[in-house]
Structure 1
Amino acid sequence: MADFLSIIKKEFGNKGHDGDQYGGAAGSSGNGLPDGYSGNFMFATGIECSYPTINHGAIRRDQLEECGHYTHWKKDLQLVKDLGLKFLRYGLPYHNIHLGPNKYDWSFADEVMNEMKRLEITPILDLLHFGLPNWLDNFQNPELPIHFAQYAAEVAQRYPWVRHYTPVNEIFVTAKNSALEGKWNEQLQSDKAFITAIKHLAAASILATQRIAQYHPNAIIIQSESAEYLHEIKATPSAKTKLFNKQRLIALDLLYAYPPDSDVCMYLMDNGLTRDEYNWFMAGEPPGYQIMGNDYYGRNEKILLPDGNFVIAEDIMGWYNITQEYYQRYKKPVMHTETNTFDAHTAPTWLWKQWVNILQMRRSGVPVLGFTWYSLTDQIDWDIELSQKKGTINACGLYDLNRNPRPVADAYRTLLKEFGQITMVPHGELFEVTSKDARLKVEV
């Protein structure tokens, strides 16, 4: 008697059977450039848009100007399109748009947004990136949350087709560099100023998200936050290092209504967070679909040596291990929202290393929804975190400042061709992002 396989092959042949085209056998590999399907992984780049002040407000570090975007914005958007990307982290120049209470200049923003829409590029709108309009002064201003929320509402109304937002970029880094390390904006160096800046920024993000949700209840909020870690080479780590490795979590704790550790809670109360303010933050997380964006550069990890000096320690833990820690704490879908390296020759290898981190994270069951090489073009003076205006070109872009491709642009295009149509999560084709309003989550 013939075996069953011989009978099947005689009846149907050696190839696939009718119906396999609907997901049978191995299904789709996800190979091919991004096609715009809403359930697919979000591959992105970003336009570097930082605009803090230095020298006690005398100098504005506007990276959109310094990197030539105000002049070459049409070319920049076309480069995004030509690379095959569908998503772009884009920061509107808040300091130039919001001229005062209920006063706005939308001339540049309207041109860029209209072109982005024409090119079918999906913006992840970055509403506040390290700086404020002059009239708002700095992050010690308690009126910041209400004014910023009004600005967010105006943006949401003006561009109703936009769904993805980062209300406040890297709250921890903004507060640390402005109020703890004295590099930007208010240039203070105290724990009290640091906590004041964090609570004002977190409150601004929450209020802005609430206002956006009034107009777009289906908003997708991608919070970009720096994934950092400090390793200390001492038999007994210092209390200061232990505290730093918890300080990096304060912004997300307040944003996601996650009760901080007891020592951090005491630190917050000792430095100006009131009981009423704490209760306000802990009332519940903001509306919309929340995605936790983790930014990782090799320089995010440092080693504190016994003599007190620091050395860069890239990839001791890496994006995978640090982000795993964040995910286990907050249980939010993840996006790798920023990475680069200042060495143009090793940038392709760094890209592949970050991608392997993402694949490993997905295999471990963590929903990683997107990846961003930041930024589209080279940057200026980020090797010194914009603290002085030296004009040093950091060769970290997909393109140089003449808009010529660097090797990492070809590597990214190769990556897109190979993985551009994978789903956000394994078997994600079962689900589709719809226009329905976000709903309250139920713990199970």
Structure 2
Amino acid sequence: MSSNFLDHITKEFGDGTYLGDEYGGAGGHDGRGLPTGSPGNFMFATGIECSNPTIDNGRTRRDQLAECRHYDYWQQDLQLVKDLGLRVLRYGLPYHKIHLGPDRYDWEFADQVMAEIKRLGITPILDLLHFGVPDWVGNFQNPELPVHFARYAAAVAERYPWVRYYTPVNEIYVTARASARDGIWNEQLKDDRSFVTAMKHTVAASIMATQQIVHRRPDAVIVQSESAEFLHEARVVESDWVRLSNKLRFLSLDLLYAHQLDAEVMLFCLDNGLTRKELDWFMAGEPPGHQIMGNDYYGRNERIIKPDGGWCEAEDVLGWYHMTRTYYDRYRKPVMHTETNTFKAEDAECWLWKQWMNVLRMRQDGVPVLGFTWYSLTDQVDWDIALAEKRGTVNPCGLYDLERRIRPVGESYKQMIQEFGQITMVPHGEMFEITRQPATLKVEV
């Protein structure tokens, strides 16, 4: 009789292995291949640019769905998403066109698009408010905004009950800052009190909308997309303005997630119109639903303030990894990279891969990063000046140009999706699915 246990295993069971042993016990798969649409898949996504703020004191609407010609090419745009191999799409319904007044809606365009998204098997992350509100609502100084918007969110959830993923209000901090501190959009104000007012109304709108969505879809996933920002000051002594600004970048998520405010930020808010009663309401608890903290990062999100007050882009001084790690350590929420691009088309491929390396490094360090988004599907218009004027400048930042011709970065994204498309949303997360299928993935990325 042999003294080698392998001889006995081979005699009884053959080689003693089964498909997948080489992948640590998984079902013969290492994560390569296009996304399958499984809930366990990492969420590779793109988005349709849908910003719609007003400028010129409310006289001009910047509707990027129109300016990027999505209203004309929506069927082709959705097919392009599918052609890339993507299964997830950040999609913004045109709130300013749908919500005509209290309990009055025009669903014609939305119904057509949503039916096609469903037919194509695309999972939408529905973006309900993207920098602008209907004319009849006015702007973000309107205290009735949370009520009106909550009713709209309820109507959307009732009309499309198959939708699970939502971004109620996109980039709350940017919305409030650009509208009421920088004076660019909507109310175009430039004072602290207006900024705090816009902030509290917009956060409250997000909370109330989430409540209405989850009432109708208890398993809703809320992807709260927020801009990851930082100011680097090239001075020996830090200015009060820069110090406060770097704290205020957290204010929207602090209020949304009931995170106690920094003392300086709290005094700033109380001095500028936030009441103790309102603060207590925000701090009462987190909104319902499964919460994902989406962090948007562009190289221009980081700025260096020079001694003379001028500034320059500071891309990658911190980068998405370090900035998002700060947000994650603060809120301890699963993370998604919800927006990135560059206006320099020749740099786009390298920027894409650099962002993806940030995601992989974050996951390897144990942070649950659930998805990645190149924003947007097509080029955009006038975002180099933050939509402040209607110049018609095309920003070559899309996976496709405005003629719907694929850019090199689009081809690179195809490569990325084919290589990593079936990695798990969370490494080893498939063990939490209730299924009769064997373990399918067990990879370290």
| TM-score, length of structure 2 as denominator length | 0.94
Say if 1:38 and 1:433, in contact at 8 Å, map to a contact too. Answer: no
> Residue in 1 aligned with 2:293?
292
Q: Secondary structure at the match of 1:322?
A: helix
Matched, 1:38 2:58: no
SS in 2 for 1:294: strand
Partner of 1:437: none
Deviations, residues 174-208 of structure 1 (Å, cap 9, x unaligned): 01100000000000000100000000000000000
Q: Secondary structure of the equivalent of 1:136?
A: coil
Task: Describe the superposition over 1:347-391 as per-residue Cα deviations: whole angstroms up to 9, x where unpaired.
Answer: 111010000000000011100000000000000000000000000
| Aligned 8 A contact 1:228 1:248 in 2 | yes
User: What are the within-5 Å matches in structure 2 for residues 152-171 of structure 1?
Assistant: 152-171=153-172
CA RMSD of aligned residues (A): 1.8
- 1:378 aligns to 2:379 (yes or no): yes
AA matched with 1:320: Y
Which residue matches 1:441?
A: none
Q: Which residue of 2 aligns with 1:304?
A: 305
* Structure 2: gaps of 5 or more residues: 436-445
- Greater Cα shift, 205-214 or 342-351: 342-351
Alignment deviations for residues 199-247 of structure 1 (CA, whole Å, 9 cap, x no partner)? 0000000000000111001100000000000000112211111100011
1:250–1:260: 8 Å Cα contact kept in structure 2?
Answer: yes
What is the aligned partner in structure 2 of residue 111 from structure 1?
A: 112
Distance 2:9 2:318 in 1: 51
1:58 shift after superposition: 1.2
Alignment of 1:144-183 (within 5 A): 144-183=145-184
CA shift digits 1:93-128 (9 cap, x unpaired)? 000000111111000000000010000111000000
Report the counterpart of residue 328 of structure 1 in structure 2: 329
Report the Cα distance in structure 1 between the residues aligned to 2:355 and 2:182, rounded to whole angstroms.
29
1-structure distance, mates of 2:20, 2:105: 56
1:43-85 superposed Cα distances (whole Å, 9 cap, x missing partner):
1000000000001011100000000000000000000011110
Q: Deviations over 1:1-23 (max 9, x none)?
A: 76555665677676843784996
In 2, are the aligned partners of 1:153 and 1:211 still within 8 Å (CA)? Answer: yes
- Relative to 1, partners in 2 of residues 1:216 and 1:21: Cα closer, same or farther, differing over 3 Å? farther
Contact 1:54 1:388 in 2 (8 A): yes
**Residue of structure 1 in register with 2:213 after alignment:** 212
- Identify the residue that residue 121 of structure 1 maps to in structure 2: 122
Higher mean alpha-carbon deviation, 384-393 vs 233-242, is at 233-242
Deviations 1:134-175, CA, capped at 9 Å, x for gaps: 001100000000000000000000000000000000000001
Contact kept? 2:52, 2:61, Cα under 8 Å? yes
Equivalence map 1:172-211=2 (5 Å): 172-211=173-212
TM-aligned CA distance change 1:18 to 1:217, over 3 Å: closer
Tell me, in whole angstroms, the C-alpha distance in 1 between the residues paired with 2:379 and 2:108.
26
After superposing the two structures, state which structure 1 stretch, 424-433 or 117-126, moved more: 424-433
8 Å Cα contact 1:39-1:431 kept in structure 2: no
CA contact (8 A) 2:87 2:122 kept: yes
Q: In 2 relative to 1, CA 428–27 (structure 1 residues): closer, same or farther, beyond 3 Å? A: farther
**Which aligned runs of 4 or more in structure 1 are off by greater than 2 angstroms?**
1-23, 25-28
Distance 1:306 1:196, change over 3 A: same
Rounded Cα–Cα distance in structure 1 between residues aligned with 2:91 and 2:103 = 23
SS of match in other structure, 1:421: coil
3-state secondary structure, aligned to 1:263: helix
Q: In structure 2, give the amino acid aligned to 1:356.
A: M
CA contact (8 A) 2:23 2:29 kept: no
What does 1:357-436 correspond to in 2, within 5 Å?
Answer: 357-432=358-433
Change (3 A) 1:25 1:211: closer
The CA distance in 1 between the partners of 2:344 and 2:16, in whole Å, is: 48
2:169 aligns to what SS in structure 1? coil
- Supply the distance in 1 between the matched residues of 2:197 and 2:434 (Cα, whole angstroms): 37
* Cα displacement (A) at 1:343: 1.3
Q: Distance in 2 between matches of 1:410 and 1:347?
A: 11
Distance 2:20 2:420 in 1: 24
Taking a change above 3 Å as real, the CA distance of residues 25 and 45 of structure 1, as seen in their structure-2 partners, is closer
Aligned to 2:91: 90
Instruction: Return the alpha-carbon distance in structure 2 between the equivalents of residues 164 and 298 of structure 1.
Output: 27
**What is the distance in 2 between the residues matched to 1:315 and 1:145?**
36
TM-score by length of 1: 0.95
Separation in 1, partners of 2:434, 2:82: 23
- Structure 1 residue 28 displacement after superposition: 2.9
SS of match in other structure, 1:126:
strand
Counterpart in the other structure of 2:259: 258
> CA separation in 1, counterparts of 2:330 and 2:27?
34
SS where residue 77 of structure 1 aligns?
helix
Letter in 2 for 1:41: F
Aligned to 1:402, the other structure's residue is in SS state coil
**CA distance, structure 2, for counterparts of residue 427 and residue 208 of structure 1:** 33
Identity of aligned residues (%): 66
List per-residue Cα deviations over 1:301-339 (Å, max 9, x = no partner): 000111111010000000000000000000000000000
Aligned equivalents of 1:25 and 1:111: distance in 2? 41
3-state SS of 2:111 partner:
helix
What is the aligned length? 434
Residue type of the alignment partner of 1:389: K
Match of 1:337 in 2: 338
Question: Residues 348-363 of structure 1 correspond to what in structure 2 (within 5 A)?
Answer: 348-363=349-364
What do residues 376-418 of structure 1 show as CA deviations (whole Å, max 9, x unaligned)?
Answer: 0000000000000000000000000000000011100100011
Mapped to 1, the partners of 2:384 and 2:23 lie a distance apart of 50
Determine the C-alpha separation between the residues in 2 that align with 1:288 and 1:409.
Answer: 33
Distance 1:228 1:284 in 2: 25
Structure 1 gaps, min length 5: 435-444
Aligned equivalents of 2:395, 2:18: Cα separation in 1: 54
Whether the aligned pair in 2 keeps the contact of 1:39 and 1:433 (CA below 8 Å) is no
What SS does structure 2 have at the residue aligned with 1:272? coil
Report SS of the residue matched to 1:167: strand
Amino acid at match of 2:160: Y
